[in-house]
Structure 1
Amino acid sequence: MPPPVIDILMYHSISNRGGATSITPEVFLSQVDALAQSGLPVITMDDLLAARRGGPALPDRSIILTFDDGFRDFLDTAWPVLSRHGFRPIVYLPTAHVGRAERWAGGAEPPRALMSWAEIRALAAEGVLFGSHTVSHADLDLLDGDASMAELIVSRRKLEDILDRPVRHFAPPYGRAGPEVRSQIAQVYETSVGTRLGQATAKSDPFDLPRIEMFYFTDLSRWRDWLAGKGKAYLVLRRGLRAIRHAVLHPSGANPRRTPS
């Protein structure tokens, strides 16, 4: 029997800002309503971790909802929709930016606001899970070993101090975490999700869990097909296009981290 399959959905901002990291509120509402209508169980990262430890078995197919960065529109727009269905997402936070705005490389202009610590504590009390997205939203592959480890440890300590509960889950900014960084992540956290496009299973590497980028499923009919188990060819196509783009942008294939001078 094949192992259970988990679709880990990846969101960032739920707004009208445009770009690959924003999904309009109308589309988001339709995606969540279609998910609820599908009957597929929505679980949490804690449920996945418990199953890997020998706890309750996972369903044959399930969904996990993840949000990177902690934009304030999660509180204003996403959470009211999710809570109505009883869905419990996880939000990955870059701790130095909490209560401020995105000021990292590749961020939108003008910058989007992030939630405050008070808002995050209130959401945690309502059932939202939180994980780390480093301190500064750094590309960990570009840092030396001490600096990347500090990003991992300091962010976890900050979150645990604010939330008064264990923080077990991580998402590397930009989805970049080479073998050395993944080894460090494993010393601090118990799971890590990236941006590698695909479905996870209970046997997947817990420190390189693939996700489904929801920007690719703004077409509601395509999303309904995916929920019904009919969209694998489309996912293969998107993965192939990504590989071609990466090969064009990075022809050497080299990892820039810790390269000799």
Structure 2
Amino acid sequence: MTPVPVFLYHAVADDPPAWIAPFTVGPAVFAEQLDRLEAGGRTVIPLARLVEAQQGGGALPPRPAVLTFDDGFADFCRAVAPELTERGLQATLYITTGAVLTSGTGSGESLLPPADMLTWGQIRTLDDSGVEIGGHSRTHPQLDTLPRRRLSNEIDGCRRMLEDELGHEVRTYAYPHGYSDSRVRRTVRRTGWSSACAVGNAFSSPEDDPFRISRLTVRADTPIGVFQDWVGGRGARIAPFHERPRTTAWRLYRRARSRLGSPVGGPPSAPGRRHQEPGGPS
């Protein structure tokens, strides 16, 4: 299988809120990582092109890579978009619609702690400039613990809001926290999405499941040597692969806690690395 690094970023900033800091990359580090991608001969392709290949619709370039960003932090406009424009690169931005900055201060209905988030005006501008906009739920819950009605609202409600705001179809989704199960994935398909990203901390591939695309999480403490290994197609598993028993057990534990009304530990956007789905922080 051909390893395809699908990089998962969150914020790109020098002074992020403490809750997202472990998953924030500084602007200078981000620029260096893009330099490494280019020097390593990687061709950055749109996520849609990877999905097309996974669905049997086309070949990939010899050394493809994909850039994705979760949640919708405002620093995407300040630190990410200029770098992408300068280099002629494309990326996918997954929006938690309930966290989009509204009038006044603060954000809307969301489980994410306070942070500087994008506005709808900024999202429309990014969309017009060629950034692919995708959905990341309404409130950022652990989808695989939700009852049916709320699950549909988080998945389909997110799509409808994005399409109303952007004026066109939105096709790609990313699971909050990387968590999904067969029921969640069926709901994503049924409500009109054409692909969905998990995490997995693994390479994707042309053989990967387009509704469970594996990504590599770029953290604040990701060593440049590890990133270089990823650019070279080394240092991680290649999807698809079977779910590990401990992942299934962790899901059952979280679901039981949810039914009892007890929170599961870990920041809302980044559960601890000790217990991860074929996902992880997202």
Please tell me the residue identity of whatever aligns with 2:229: D
SS at match of 2:4: strand
- Give the unaligned 5+ runs of structure 1: 237-242
Shifted more, 160-169 versus 112-121: the winner is 160-169
Residue 196 (structure 1) aligns with? 200
C-alpha spacing 1:104/1:156, structure 2 compared with 1 (3 Å): closer
Aligned residues: CA RMSD: 2.7
Please tell me the residue identity of whatever aligns with 2:211: F
- Give the unaligned 5+ runs of structure 2: 238-243, 261-282
CA distance in structure 2 between the partners assigned to 1:195 and 1:171 by the alignment = 9
Residue 239 (structure 1) aligns with? none
SS at match of 1:136: coil
Identity of aligned residues (%): 29
Residue 265 (structure 2) aligns with? none
Q: Does 1:206 align with 2:204?
A: no
Q: Cα deviations across residues 47-102 of structure 1 (Å, max 9, x unaligned)?
A: 12322444331124311100001100011111111221111110111112212556
Counterpart pick for 2:128 among 125, 129, 132: 125
Structure-2-length-normalised TM-score: 0.77
Structure in which a larger fraction of residues adopt helix:
1
Q: Does 1:114 align with 2:113?
A: no
Deviation, 1:166, is 1.6
Deviation, 1:257, is 6.8
C-alpha spacing 1:30/1:260, structure 2 compared with 1 (3 Å): closer
Residue 256 (structure 1) aligns with? 255
Deviation, 1:216, is 7.3
CA distance in structure 2 between the partners assigned to 1:77 and 1:260 by the alignment = 40
C-alpha spacing 1:55/1:251, structure 2 compared with 1 (3 Å): closer
CA distance in structure 1 between the partners assigned to 2:229 and 2:145 by the alignment = 39
Q: How many residues of Structure 1 are paired with residues of Structure 2 in the alignment? A: 244
Q: 1:224-239 residue pairs with structure 2 within 5 A?
A: 224-229=228-233, 231-232=234-235, 235=236
Structure-1-length-normalised TM-score: 0.83
Residue 143 (structure 1) aligns with? 146
Q: 1:66-145 residue pairs with structure 2 within 5 A?
A: 66-100=68-102, 101=106, 104-105=110-111, 107=112, 111-145=114-148
Residue 161 (structure 1) aligns with? 164
Shifted more, 4-13 versus 54-63: the winner is 54-63
Deviation, 1:157, is 1.1
Deviation, 1:36, is 1.7
Residues 22 and 221 of structure 2 are in contact (CA less than 8 Å); yes or no, is this contact kept in structure 1?
no
